[in-house]
Structure 1
């Protein structure tokens, strides 16, 4: 479940916070309004929260600031180390991924930011089915991630990155498993979720699903 990207996560750990705060021109538009969109995810969460891919702990910190109890599941040891230090023990950051994790309590909200695209569509569907069983009625999935309205929009994003000379971004867009809103919407509805999508920038949308 995305573990083929572990080496990449380890490499990103060194520069991730600089990149998300706009210090890398190539990824500036990807992380446009980063702080605001993380806050929006945090504001939509309630109760006990399970966070997948907390990375360096930026969303986790906002959840904690709202007084929420958070368990973060992070496969990268370098990312976990940074997050644990940043959060000063205020959240439980454990080893695992979107499908392989140990949790001894129920949660009301499952959140993630900039991470769900590391799963294939087949893996995404399996994960959502699993979360549907984990959450109680009224429980929520709130994911902020790069996704596209159509396949054509996805292909245009790759072409635009190539035209701008953003070779790393273009490579990322082709290497990772970006999907479309209709595909995600069908997955969510199939598992009993009512779902909405709100655009945050040219790349990222927030998917908010409530279990019926």
Structure 2
């Protein structure tokens, strides 16, 4: 086919096809005698792939990665890029909701005098700071790299400071105290390789899962293909409002800063039904005094390696967490698994006027 024939078949303009050629996404054959472009069925398939991905808003650089994976014989990797684009779109959705909230606040407080603008400016600055906090999260722990050995790591004893001590016991308690029912649907945030999710699945509970690590999700899908998993994180959960009866998370919440934890609780509340519950199994301290006492103990033991490990994470302050949850309308129960691992169960309270 010539370029105008290809354009007619795909319902685009020749200029569009030339644009993708200039960007290196397609390479049609050119006749040496007249310079005409000739397109094969393979070119038509490649162009239709590009056009399809562009309809999702996927940037050209990412589309090139998709085509490279297909050319390299890795079609399964295409799913990752589709999920990545969906995650990006949900982040935009969260950002749009934040902007709408800001506008509603401004409209509600606006008065036609000069003093109003200082208050509106403060609202705008708060919104901006929140977005900066959201964007600061990054995977400093490289979960894609450790995914294949994660299940072995969490079950190996690690000496006198083992953050995964009582790992299986903790997961069993999380399942038990969630009190999930067969007619309920839950979400696990930071599903990882599916070790907690498997306990729900074995008892016939419908569970979805999200994780920011594509390699962790690959392993989870191999172990539990029945579970719907998506690329996502605490700060932009890729599901609609009031979707789930319960939320669970294990060994993931401590990767958020205190400010990000508060944002995560708001996002978790968004996707939770009004009478839902949150179950958090994680590394925590009862309060700041307990954290400082633990650091003091390991300093006396001459263990800078342990100090560094604790300070590299963001173990939750249970007293602070209780206050956040109470302010958001939850009733919280707490059970220690050991001196570092704790279980928190928060149930949404229906408050009537």
**TM-score greater than 0.5 by the shorter chain:** yes
CA distance in 2, matches of 1:12, 1:124: 24
**Secondary structure class of the residue paired with 2:197:** helix
CA distance in 1, matches of 2:193, 2:174: 16
What's the counterpart of residue 90 of structure 1?
A: 226
CA distance in 2, matches of 1:13, 1:59: 15
Q: Among 163, 188, 208, which residue is 1:71 paired with?
A: 208
Matches of residues 85-164 of structure 1 in structure 2 within 5 Å? 85-87=222-224, 89-104=225-240, 106-161=243-298, 163=301
Contact 2:234 2:268 in 1 (8 A): no
Matches of residues 14-93 of structure 1 in structure 2 within 5 Å? 14-25=148-159, 28=162, 30-45=163-178, 46=180, 47-87=184-224, 89-93=225-229
2:167 corresponds to 1:5: no
Q: CA deviation at 1:27?
A: 5.0
CA distance in 1, matches of 2:267, 2:278: 12
What's the counterpart of residue 129 of structure 2?
A: none
What RMSD over aligned residues (CA atoms) do the two structures have, in Å?
Answer: 2.1
Q: CA deviation at 1:161?
A: 4.6
Q: CA deviation at 1:42?
A: 1.5
After TM superposition, where is structure 1 displaced by more than 6 Å over at least 4 residues in a row?
none
Runs (5+) with no aligned partner, structure 1: none
Q: CA deviation at 1:160?
A: 4.2
**Secondary structure class of the residue paired with 1:70:** strand
Contact 1:3 1:75 in 2 (8 A): no
CA distance in 2, matches of 1:37, 1:80: 21
Matches of residues 171-186 of structure 1 in structure 2 within 5 Å? 171-186=308-323
CA deviations 1:57-111 (Å, max 9, x no partner) are 1001111112111111110112111111121x12112101012232257110000
**For the pair shown, which has the larger CA radius of gyration, 1 or 2?**
2
Alpha-carbon distance change, 202 to 22 in structure 1, aligned in 2, over 3 angstroms: farther
TM-score after normalising by structure 1 = 0.88
- Which of structures 1 and 2 has the larger relative contact order (alpha carbons within 8 angstroms, sep 6+)? 1
**Secondary structure class of the residue paired with 1:56:** coil
**Secondary structure class of the residue paired with 1:182:** helix
Bigger fraction of residues in helix: 2
Runs (5+) with no aligned partner, structure 2: 1-133
CA deviations 1:136-177 (Å, max 9, x no partner) are 23210000011111213213333445536472x432311221
Aligned length: 209
